[in-house]
Amino acid sequence: MTGEPNRVGRPPKGERKSHLVRLPVQLSQYLEQVASYNGISVNEFVVEALAAQLGVPYPEEERLKLSA
C-alpha cells in the first residue's frame, strides 16, 4: 500500500456555494421523483431549473448522471 487513499468519485464541477431551502413536503417529494426519473440528483435538477428560469447558461456537459 502506498498510504494514499484511492479516490473514486465524481469529478469536481468548480466552486460551489450552498443554500438551505425549506420546501413543502409535497414539492420535495415531486422534486425527488422528477430528478430520479431524469437520472440526476435533486441538487442537479434544482440548479438546472433555476438556471433555465433565470436565463443563465448552464452547460449540459456539467450534468453528472447518477450511477445505477
- Number of domains within the chain: 1
| Residue whose grid cell is 440526476 | 40
Q: What is the pLDDT of residue 9?
A: 66
Q: Give pLDDT tens digits along the chain (68 positions).
A: 566 667 676 666 778 899 999 999 999 999 999 999 999 999 999 999 999 999 998 876 556 555 55
Q: Which domain holds residue 44?
A: 25-57
Q: Is residue 16 part of a domain?
A: no
Angular region, 65: left φ>0, alpha ψ -120 to 50, beta rest? beta
Question: What residues contact 68, with CB distance under 8 A and at least 6 apart?
Answer: none
Q: Is residue 37 part of a domain?
A: yes
Model pLDDT, residue 44: 92
Give the pLDDT score at 2: 61
Three state DSSP letters for 15-35: CCCCCCCCCCHHHHHHHHHHH
How many residues would you count in the chain? 68
